[in-house]
Structures are given as structure tokens and as C-alpha cells.
Structure 1
Amino acid sequence: MGVKTRFFILSDTHGEDIPNIQHVRADVAIHCGDLTEGSKIEEFKNSLKLLRRIDAPLKLVVAGNHDITVDVPLFRKKVAEHPDVQQEDVEKVYGGFGDVHRLFKEARGDGVVLLEEGMHRFELSNGAKLTVYSSPFTPSLRDGGFHYSPEKGHDFSIEKGVDVVITHGPPRGIMDFTVYGRREGCPELLCSIARARPKLHCFGHIHEGWGAKLVTWREKINQAPSHFADIDNERSTVIEKLSNLISSKFDTPEIAEKKSKKRAKLTGEGYIKTSHCTSDDNPLEAGSQTLFVNAAIRGLSEEYPTQAPWLVDLEMPTAFQ
């Protein structure tokens, strides 16, 4: 039994304000990237205002593919491709090279930490210790921030014993199904997660994949893990998903009304909560289970344009062990 730790998780805010979050208290807030829509310096300032408003002593952030100016080599490359544009004009809109990092450095006094890819360790004010792996990288052939070729793949060096994994994109097969009928998650990320088995993996990027699932891993993991073979679906639980909230042409009037009330409740509360501690009905089995959370805030449906952030309670190791 560890220290009960509350996480407030959101992603893909794209520079927009999120209402009804000032009253939410957490030990750790997590933003899984796409803080901006066009990587403009004012959008980053707005996102930092949002993060400062969250009542949590530690606020962990990774960048997303829309946050191009955080990916300084790519930002330099894009500017060099337009020699006719004056540097001062670029800086008015996007800031100079490294300006976004300076903004985040100034925000550290408010508990905001921009995480680079890799392992990080924290001691929390509630007496818990927290081991985190973070990565902003997602597979794509486009030229967004922190993209890598799906053919070449990417090495996610997640150590065993990690408590929380924060990435911008999902692993292959878990809340990564798009409106185009494709799975866009990363297979290399799934392999690393299946081997490390963190307590929590949170991400965004695939907006229509919003939801949470408590996954139970099979006892023996294949050399090349997949969501088909290495997840015990009979012992896994979907906490919530968009299809339970958004109307379908197949819904009866009663089901449509139920979904509408559920959406209104989430909008009013400002978040959706799930808890998996020892005293809960569905406690997380460390080493055997991982809670996956897709916390993409911007919705693709007019019916539900702002999807709820997540409030998650889990037990973390005590800092004095």
C-alpha cells in the first residue's frame, strides 16, 4: 500500500481556456501536449496561465506536434525555408529560438516543468515519490513538432519500475482509433509500455480516442507485443469512452437522453474522476495492470466540443522507502 496521489490530466488544449478547473485540487497536474494550435507565443502564454490556475504543486508538461517552436531544430529549419521573411516578423508571432523554453523556465517557480524525453524523478509534497518517463514524439510523415517516420520507428527507453508514462501520442491499439477508421498509435511505444507496465500511461493526440481503460496484461509478454495478444481483455475494464457520451443514429430516444445528461454532468463538474486505490472497488494491481488515459480536451463533435479532463487517484511509493 502506497501514498494516495491525485493526478489532474489534460491534453490538446490548443491555446484555449478550460473552464471550471480552479476548484480542482491535485497532487500532480499533467498536460500531454498540443498546448497550442499554431505554436504562437501568445498561445503558450495562455496555456501557462491555464496551468498556473490549476491547484497542484507540481505540473508536468510534454510538447505536442502542434508545439513546433519547442522543437527548436525544426523551428530553425522552417524559418530557414523562408529567407524572404524577416526574423523580427517571425519573433513577433512565434518568439525567438528558445523563447518558449525561457517562458517555461520562468514558470518553474509556479511548479510548471516542461519535460524532455527520458526518465525523471520527483518527491511530492504528499510524501510520495514519482518516477516518470516522458516523450513528445509521435509517428508521422508530416512536418509537425517531434515527428518521426513510422517506417524508421522510435526508441522509447522506458525503464522498469516507472510509475507514470506521459507521451503526446497513444500506443498502438489503445484509444488510438481515428474517425478515418485507422489506428494511429505507435507500435514501438506499446512494446515499451507492455514490458515496463507502469501504473499510469496518459496521452492525447487522437482526440476521438478520449477515454480511460484499466488494462490487465497477460502474464507472459511476447517478444513483439501487440494489443491483440498481450492484453487480457476479459480482465480489462473500460472506464469511459466517447461512444458513451456522443449520440449515434442507432440510439433510442432514451439512450440519447441518457448521454445528454451525462455530458451535462461532466461539463458542470469540470472533470471526470476515477480511483484505483487499495480501498476502491477496482484497485490497480501494480505490475499486472496499467491505467491508460486519453485526455484530449478539444472535441471533434459539436455535441461535445470540450471533452472533460481526468482526475485520477492512484497509490504511489512513499518517498521514505
Structure 2
Amino acid sequence: MESRPDNTVVTRLLVISDTHGQGYTIPENITDTPIDVVVHCGDFTLHSKLSEIRTTLQFLDNIDASLKLIIAGNHDFSLDTPVFKEKIAEAKRLADGVDDALVQAEYGECGEARELFDRAKKRGTHLLDEGTHRFTLDNGAELKVYASPYTPCPAGEEPTWGFQYRDGHTFDIKEGTDLVITHGPPLGIFDSVNNRRLGCADLFGSVVRAKPKLHCFGHVHGGWGAKMAAWRDKISEAPSHFSDIDHGKSTTIHTLSTLREGKETESFCRARYSDVDTGVKTLFVNAALQGDYGLDQLPWIVDTDLPCVPR
């Protein structure tokens, strides 16, 4: 895409999440306009098997984009070494006489899953560990990303899946971050299941302080949707979606209910973030593809203004 006079360039992102080991074919009309960056927000497996990871990497290879960013989710526990070792040990305890060769064939050795991603990096797919990452895109834009696979475990339970925590977590999102990719939602944003909120208050607080352009996530399948949230001028000491979002100036682009009502006639949904909104608004996108009947929820195409690489 062409550079804009204000030294920014419009960049197109394809955002998906929660494919759970299933092969996914990108709708053909998505690629009518070139995609600059693919974002996968985790749970790319269901059982963290090597075959599921290979399936994920194959469909990412099939997408025509030079940069593909992916994080782990709670189902992708083979990338969380302590949890992976515990689950393998538990399987052997529960299934006396389990065939070690079969377990190794399904899940691999410790570290083997990461090796698959290390090789995929040469093909443009980057598995992001927690922290800040910077990329220079083929269209001349700079992209500053914060990524985190961590999600809170359900109240009253011990962490048993990958990248879970119980007593809070620090999300060190820096000011000036363009894109936040987490597996789970912030508290109060597309995080509700059966009138129960599963989002993280620590994550919401970090996002409101950094005010990134985009925050993409999944994990809560029924929370699919997108919202352009306008921030209030003064942030609370204990930030929340009640006190720190100006709902009168915010816009809900889509929710799962409007999707099911048939208001979207295309095979994907669109959202746009303009440079004039930087520091004032954040576009939240829950991109979980997994629905009640397979991968039946729509991917998102998001266009955003990014700064050009200084010359």
C-alpha cells in the first residue's frame, strides 16, 4: 500500500484465533487485497499434538503474507515446558503401561514443538514469547508488538493448562505499542460466558495505561466481536471497563449476536483504525474462529495506520 503524506502507511492485518488443530482455508475474497500481517492469538491446537501444530503451520504457509505472528494459548501446553512435563508424567501415572513410543510420536520430546516453529521462522511465521517485539514490514511500516500467551485459571482452580496463572500477572505493555496480542481478553471486553466474565483485570489495566492501537485476542469463543473503545481523559487508580471507557464515544462494530442475525454477508469482517485515534482509542478484536459447529465464526481484516521506517 502507498505511504501517506503524514509519514504513515496503511497496513492490513488478518486476525484469527482458536483454530484448535483444524485445517483452515482463508476465504478467497480476503486475498483480493494483499495482507501485510497475519495474527493468530493462540489455541492453535486442541490437544497440543505435533500433528495439530503441523496442520497450523501448513495453513499459515498457504496465506500470502510476508509476516505471520502467532502466540500460544492454554491448549498449546507443549510449549510450556513445566506443564508439558507434568501432563506427560500424569498420563503415565493414570495409564499404567502407557507406550512411551506412542506418547513421543503424538507429542514429541520436550522442546520438539518449539523446533517446528523455529523452522517455520524461515517461512515468515514467528512464534512470539511474552514481551515486546519489533518488525519492519515489506510495505515500509514499523510494527511494535506486545505479546503474551498467559490467561488466568478459573477461580478456585489450580493452573493445569499451558500459560495459566492464579494470583495475577504483570503485562509489561510499553507506551507506543501498536499491537497487543494476548490469548485471553481483558476484563470486561468480549469475555463473557454464561453471565460470567473470564477476562483479566491486570491485562485491562496495562492496556488502558499504554493505549495501543489494537488489542487482539481469543480464548472466549462466545465473545467474538470488535469494539472501538474511546478512553476517558483521566485513568482510574484501579482501571475498569466501567470507569475508564467512554461508552458514549465508543463503537461496537460487531458481536456474535449480530453475526448470527445474518447482518454480515461477507466471509470475513472488517475494521479500520485511523492514526488520528492513536492514544485516544483502542480497537479490541476477539477473533476466535471456533464456534458451536467448528470454525464457523468469521476472521477479521483490520486496516491500521502505522509509522513508516525512518529514512
Same fold (TM over 0.5): yes
Residue 3 (structure 2) aligns with: none
Q: Does 1:11 align with 2:25?
A: no
TM superposition shift of 1:305: 5.3
TM-score with structure 2 setting the length:
0.91
TM-score with structure 1 setting the length:
0.88
Q: Secondary structure at the match of 1:213?
A: strand
Q: Does 1:157 align with 2:142?
A: no
**Partner AA of 1:309 in structure 2:** P
Are 2:213 and 2:273, in contact at CA under 8 Å, matched by a contact in 1? no
Q: Does 1:57 align with 2:66?
A: yes
State the alpha-carbon separation in 1 of the partners of residues 295 and 27 from structure 2.
17
State the alpha-carbon separation in 2 of the partners of residues 73 and 116 from structure 1.
15
Unaligned runs of 5+ in 1: 247-258, 279-283
Are 2:19 and 2:295, in contact at CA under 8 Å, matched by a contact in 1? no
Q: Does 1:203 align with 2:217?
A: yes
| Misfit runs of 4+, over 6 Å | none
**Partner AA of 2:137 in structure 1:** L
State the alpha-carbon separation in 2 of the partners of residues 87 and 161 from structure 1.
48
State the alpha-carbon separation in 2 of the partners of residues 57 and 307 from structure 1.
25
Equivalences, count: 294
State the alpha-carbon separation in 2 of the partners of residues 42 and 314 from structure 1.
34
Residue 302 (structure 2) aligns with: 312
TM superposition shift of 1:223: 1.4
**Partner AA of 2:112 in structure 1:** D
Q: Deviations over 1:5-39 (max 9, x none)?
A: 11100000001122344552311100000001111
**Partner AA of 2:25 in structure 1:** P
Residue 223 (structure 1) aligns with: 237
State the alpha-carbon separation in 1 of the partners of residues 290 and 86 from structure 2.
29
TM superposition shift of 1:96: 1.2
Q: Deviations over 1:103-128 (max 9, x none)?
A: 00111111000000001111111111
Residue 286 (structure 2) aligns with: 294
1:104 maps to which of 105, 108, 117 = 117
User: Would the alpha carbon gap of residues 6 and 305 (structure 1) be closer, same or farther in structure 2, given more than 3 Å must change?
Assistant: closer
Are 1:90 and 1:96, in contact at CA under 8 Å, matched by a contact in 2? no
State the alpha-carbon separation in 1 of the partners of residues 250 and 119 from structure 2.
42
Q: Deviations over 1:67-109 (max 9, x none)?
A: 1101111101222232543432211111111111110011111
Unaligned runs of 5+ in 2: 1-5
State the alpha-carbon separation in 2 of the partners of residues 126 and 160 from structure 1.
23
Q: Secondary structure at the match of 1:42?
A: helix
Residue 181 (structure 2) aligns with: 166
Q: Secondary structure at the match of 1:172?
A: coil
State the alpha-carbon separation in 2 of the partners of residues 55 and 21 from structure 1.
12
2:274 maps to which of 261, 272, 277 = 277
1:190 maps to which of 181, 201, 204 = 204
CA RMSD of aligned residues (A): 1.6
State the alpha-carbon separation in 2 of the partners of residues 124 and 238 from structure 1.
29
State the alpha-carbon separation in 2 of the partners of residues 59 and 314 from structure 1.
16
State the alpha-carbon separation in 2 of the partners of residues 175 and 128 from structure 1.
29
